[in-house]
Structure 1
Amino acid sequence: MTKKLNSDPVCAVDYAFQRIGGKYKGRIIWYIHSFTVLRYGELKRSIVGITPKMLTQTLRELEDDGLVNRRVYNEVPPKVEYTLTESAKELIPFIDHLREWGDKRMGNYKIICQ
C-alpha cells in the first residue's frame, strides 16, 4: 500500500522518484538486492553516513510503498530481516545502469559497490 506523500504525482516519473528518490532509497534497494536478505545492523554498516533514525524512517517508507518486506523474528535480541518485493526487483536493472554510468565517470575515485 502506498502512503500519501507531500503532493500527488503529476506524472509517472514524478511518481517513481517520490518512491525511490532521495539520498538513501536507491542505495538501500541496491544493497538488499546484492545480499538478498539483510538485517538492520548490516544495512547500517553498508550505508555510509546514514543515521539510525534516517535508516529506520527510510526503511518504513520503502515498506509502506511496497518495495521492501520486513520480517520480525520473535527472539531476544529481536531479529529483523529485510528483503525486496517483486516490485523493487524490477528496479534493479535501472539501478545497475546508474551504477555503470557512475563507474564510467568516477575515474580515480572509483569505489566498488557490491
Structure 2
Amino acid sequence: MDDTPAAIPPSSRAALDALSMLSNKWEPVVVVVLLEGGSLRFSELEGRIPGIAPNMLTKTFRSLAADGLVTRRVISESPRTVTYELTDAGWALQPVFDSLRTWADEHIDAVRPTILLGDGDRRLVELYRGWLAARFDVVTVTDRKQLQHGLADMPDIAIFDIELCDDEPRTLITHCPTTTRRIALVGDRPAPSFGTWPCDDVLRKPLVKSELLTAVTRQLERFGQAESAREREGIEARLALLESVYPKPVLEQDVTVAKLYDKLASFEE
C-alpha cells in the first residue's frame, strides 16, 4: 500500500481543512438553521432539527464552538436563559452555502417538498392533488387515522380540513411535528373558537387553484423563520379570516379571540 501523501497545494489544503470543520452530519445543519433563524434557544433548535438527540446537539455545539463558528450567550440569569448564535466567522459562511445551493440547483436533482393533503371529500382531495402534483410530492388522506399516520412522516406542509380532526385542535397539537407548516381548511363560516387552532395559514373552502398554490409557496418560503415571527403570522391569518366573517367588536367579546388580540399586541410592542 502506498502511504505517500497526496500532492495537494496549500490553497487546496486550506479548503479541505474548512470542509473538515463541517464534516459531521449535524454541524452544517446547525449552521444553516442559525443562518436562517439567528439567535436561538436550545429547545428552539431541537424543534427545527427533527431527529437530533439532545446529547448530539450538545456535542455538535461544542465542536462548532471549538472551531470558532458558534457561541453561547446567557441573556437572563433568573430564569436562566441561554441562546446560541453564530460568530462573525460563522456568519461569513452564508455566501458559501449560497454558492453550494446554486451549484446544487444546477447539478443535483431537486428534492420535491412533500405535501400531506387531507379532506373527507375524496373528490376534493383528488382535485387539489391534481393542482399540486406537478410541483410537489403529494400524500392524500381522507380520515382522522390516516391524517395522524401521515403527520408522523413529517411532511413539509400539511393541508387539512379541520373536520378531519373532529374540530379538536388537540389532535393536531399532539400529532403534527413542529417543523411541518400547517394550512387549515375551513367552511364558509368558522366559529370564533377556530382561533385556538395552531396553524400557519387558513383557507376557506371552496378553493381555487391559484389560492392554494400561493399559500403553499408562501409557507415554503417561510421555512427557518424565527418562531416568534411564525406565531405572529399564524395569529394574523386566523384573525383576518374571523374578521371577514364577524364584526371585530363581536370577536373581542369572545375569550379565545380576545387572547389572540392580546398576543398580537404583545408582538407589536
TM-score by length of 1: 0.76
Cα distance in structure 2, aligned partners of 1:107 and 1:35: 22
- Matched residue, 2:16: 14
- Matched residue, 1:29: 31
Per the alignment, in what secondary structure is the counterpart of residue 108 of structure 1? coil
- Matched residue, 2:87: 85
- Matched residue, 1:66: 68
Q: Residues 103, 47 of structure 1: CA spacing in aligned structure 2 closer, same or farther, 3 A cutoff?
A: farther
Q: Residues 36, 107 of structure 1: CA spacing in aligned structure 2 closer, same or farther, 3 A cutoff?
A: closer
Asked if the contact 1:39/1:82 (under 8 Å) is kept, the reply is yes
- Matched residue, 1:51: 53
- Matched residue, 2:112: 108
What letter matches 2:110 in structure 1? M
Q: Residues 97, 48 of structure 1: CA spacing in aligned structure 2 closer, same or farther, 3 A cutoff?
A: farther
- In the alignment, structure 1 segments of 5+ residues that lack a partner are 1-9
Structure scoring higher RCO (CA < 8 A, sep ≥ 6) equals: 1
Matched, 1:75 2:78: yes
Q: Residues 107, 68 of structure 1: CA spacing in aligned structure 2 closer, same or farther, 3 A cutoff?
A: closer
Per the alignment, in what secondary structure is the counterpart of residue 96 of structure 1? helix
Q: Residues 50, 100 of structure 1: CA spacing in aligned structure 2 closer, same or farther, 3 A cutoff?
A: farther
What letter matches 1:106 in structure 2? A
Q: CA RMSD in A?
A: 2.3
Listed one character per residue, the Cα deviations across residues 57-87 of structure 1 (whole Å, up to 9, x for unaligned) are 00111111110110123123x3110111111
What letter matches 2:46 in structure 1? K
Q: What is the aligned counterpart of 1:98 among 85, 97, 100?
A: 100
C-alpha displacement of 1:51: 0.5
Cα distance in structure 1, aligned partners of 2:85 and 2:45: 11
What letter matches 1:74 in structure 2? E
Cα distance in structure 1, aligned partners of 2:46 and 2:88: 23
Structure showing greater Rg: 2
Cα distance in structure 1, aligned partners of 2:48 and 2:54: 12
- Matched residue, 1:41: 43
Listed one character per residue, the Cα deviations across residues 13-68 of structure 1 (whole Å, up to 9, x for unaligned) are 33112212221111111111112111110111111211001000001111111101
C-alpha displacement of 1:94: 1.3
- Deviating runs (4+, > 6 A) in structure 1? none
Per the alignment, in what secondary structure is the counterpart of residue 29 of structure 1? helix
Per the alignment, in what secondary structure is the counterpart of residue 11 of structure 1? helix
Q: Residues 22, 75 of structure 1: CA spacing in aligned structure 2 closer, same or farther, 3 A cutoff?
A: same
Per the alignment, in what secondary structure is the counterpart of residue 71 of structure 1? strand
